[in-house]
Structure 1
Amino acid sequence: MTSSVPRSRTSSVSRRSLLRVLGGGAAVGAAVGALAGCGVPAAYIEPGERAARDRSRRDRTLTFANWPLYIDTDDNDKTKRPSLDAFEKRTGIDVRYTEEINDNDEFFGKISPSLMNHQETGRDLIVISDWMCARFVRLGWVQEMDRARQPNVTKYLDPLLRSPHFDPGRKYTVPWQSGITGIAYNKRKVGREIKQVSDLWADDLKGRVTLLSGLDEAFALLLQGDGVDIRKWTADDFHRMCDKVEKMVNSHHIRRFTGNDYIKDLSSGDVLACQAYSGDVIQLQADDPDIEFVVPEEGAELWAESLMVPNLARHKQNAERLIDYYY
């Protein structure tokens, strides 16, 4: 969830408020898990209840929900997407493409009420991070794909990605992109190189730094910057880092916690340094060569995001065809 700490209401932020800001969607996830205990039908959807009558053959369209800056655009016209245009021309399928996913937890909160109540989401294809994909697969909220319709996926999918722990055999997901979560900054305005996480806390960057709102992403970077092996972190490590972040928030050094909207902050100059995704920065650099991306010396998180077809999607075959086209 994209949020900022409400300064007008308090001069300081509590541990509970901080965790709410960082992991806004966690409350939604917890609520989903608690439904069965409150007399509400369990959120899990059985395999036989996930498919709707597919309209792909007579309705040549599909709705594709993605993140900003996550598909190719024409150099001279950013509203044009050459690969999608080519797919539409080749197949006659009209793709309704939306850049509505700003944050994993925020998007989960947006569509989970429909999915848990066995209702259509209005989307045929979505892209979210693998750790969130695991939640969707576990809850039975996505449909198994028909690999007979996806010969390119079968042939070209990297063997190392064919059977992740959350989706053995890749029945429900197909990788879309992968990258690194690191630090982006405006080298000209900062006036020096940023090499370490600790460089974010320099006095002249006060109020010009943002972190990602995903608790796992923000704390992975910060814990590594504090010398912690994130494969073996402890409760003491976590609480120590909470104390540090609280201090940075209360002093207004951290401007806010963001989803993908850090892109606008960095482009406008409102923010000079931020936690960022490598793929976004590559696209930003095309318009502003002063923007740099760095993997901190302490290390960074490698991530992947995958395509899924949500339950009751009305154009599943069209979605499967688009996935195979990109492979």
Structure 2
Amino acid sequence: MKKRVCSIISAFIAVASVSFFSCKEENEVYLYNWTYYTPDEVLRDFEKEFNCTVKVDSYASNEEMYAKLRAGAKGYDIVVPSQDYCSIMIKQGMFRELDQSKMTNKSHINPLVFEKADYDPQMKYCVPYYLGAAGIAVNKTKVSTDYEKTWNIFADKQFAGHATMMDDMREVIGDALTTLGYSINTVNQNELKEASDYIIKNWKPNLVKFDAEGFGKSFASGDFWLCQGYAEVVFGEVPEDKWEETIDFFIPAEGGPSYLDSMCILKDAPHYDLANEFVNYIHRPEVYAKFLDAFHFPCFVNKDAAQYMTTKTMYEADQMSNCVLKEDLGEDLDKYNELWQEIRFTE
């Protein structure tokens, strides 16, 4: 799924291998999280307040995390999967229910997040960590301001030869489905085929390629003028003092695919009580603000954190209001795979 970008922040805690974990100490908690996703300041502050040690191991994809846990990795207390893997892992009994008596900061979480997280609407297992979505970045130094702020911007001929979309079938096909008025989670073959044909006919002629990783650097160098992708990839490559004059990043008003990463306590967590304290601690508004500030993330999940933020966000949180979480489609994902090959390789 999504990639984390190493260049957006440097002050992070080093990670340790699970093979070196010792689970005997009760004043320790073990966090298994995405790479470059946990500000060191937040960890150190928690350690001081609770007189404990937080140890961190990291992963680059949901698939990596899930495979390691299913293979029998032990010692972790908290893991941070995205919504589709939350759904899978709940069904497979991989989580322990949260201690609701300790979730005193639950009231700070945006009610819209609970509506979107229909796989666990009561927050029995999953506490939202961050809601994000891919959007559109336009290099303002290369084109006029006369462009359509919808996914159909990829049909605009002024970007021909300087545009890219992600090498991610759920994102690209999801944007086309949104444009056509269909659900991003549809498994209807006719709707999927219509979306595929729309991409091939209207968007692909303008694209240089499908690119999930290098588009940020190409945007910063001026080679790409129009990119679909995660804001942190683009903003992470452009000097901060050039953001205003260079980047117009937006998520179309009609919405599109989104992801929701959540903190979950594993069923065999060796430090259950402290893990609950950590999950709740993250949602103190002043603490959550430090997490957002570290990445210039918009404040959507924890609305009350906005008053404590000190940095300018990459885009406005409300732009994600109409976005829809990508669901686990099971075997129906093969329908997307087949059409994606057609999209990528049709001349």
- Shorter-chain TM-score above 0.5: yes
The partner residue of 1:128 within 81, 104, 107 is 81
Question: Hey, what does 1:236 align to over in structure 2?
Answer: 190
Match of 2:42 in 1: 83
Please list, as runs of the form range in 1=range in 2, the aligned pairs for 1:18-167 lying within 5 A after superposition.
Answer: 55=24, 57-58=26-27, 60-66=28-34, 68=36, 70=37, 81-97=40-56, 100-101=59-60, 107-117=61-71, 119-120=72-73, 123-153=76-106, 155-158=107-110, 161=113, 164-167=117-120
From 209, 223, 226, the equivalent of 1:255 is 209
- How many Å separate the matches in 1 of 2:110 and 2:141? 39
| SS in structure 1 of the partner of residue 105 of structure 2 | helix
The Cα offsets for residues 129-175 of structure 1, whole Å up to 9 and x where unpaired, read as 3233112212222232222343333x544555558431253211001
- Provide the TM-score with structure 1 as the length reference: 0.62
Residue identity (%): 22
Question: What letter corresponds to residue 89 of structure 1 in structure 2?
Answer: K
Q: Matched residues in 1 for 2:55 and 2:247: separation?
A: 31
Residue in structure 1 matched with residue 263 of structure 2 by the alignment: 307
Q: Which amino acid aligns with 1:57?
A: E
Instruction: Confirm whether residue 174 of structure 1 aligns to residue 127 of structure 2.
Output: yes
Cα distance in 2 for residues equivalent to 1:191 and 1:160: 35
For 1:165 and 1:316, how far apart are their aligned partners in 2? 25
One-letter amino acid of the counterpart of residue 63, structure 1: L
Counterpart pick for 2:153 among 167, 175, 199: 199
Say how many residue pairs are matched.
258
Partner Cα distance (2:87, 2:205) in 1: 36
Q: Distance in 2 between matches of 1:266 and 1:181?
A: 15
Q: CA RMSD in A?
A: 3.9
**Is there any run of 5+ residues in structure 2 with no aligned partner, and where?**
4-21, 284-347
Over 3 Å counting, the alpha-carbon distance change for 1:263 and 1:311 in structure 2 is: farther
Amino acid at match of 1:182: G
State which of 262, 273, 276 in structure 2 corresponds to 1:320: 276
Deviation string for 1:19-58 (max 9, x for gaps)? xxxxxxxxxxxxxxxxxxxxxxxxxxxxxxxxxx964514
The letter for the 1-side match of 2:171 is: E
Q: 3-state SS of the aligned residue for 1:184?
A: strand
Unmatched tracts of structure 1, length 5 or more: 4-52, 73-80, 102-106
Cα deviation 1:52-71 (Å, max 9, x = unaligned): x964514x242341365x55
TM-score scaled by structure 2? 0.59
Partner of residue 252, structure 2 = 296
Structure having greater relative contact order (Cα 8 Å, sep ≥ 6): 1
User: Of the candidates 174, 183, 194, which is equivalent to residue 136 of structure 2?
Assistant: 183
Question: In the TM superposition, what is the alpha-carbon distance from 1:325 to its structure 2 partner?
Answer: 0.8
Secondary structure of the equivalent of 1:140? coil
1:218 equivalent to 2:177? Answer no
| 2:193 counterpart letter in structure 1 | H
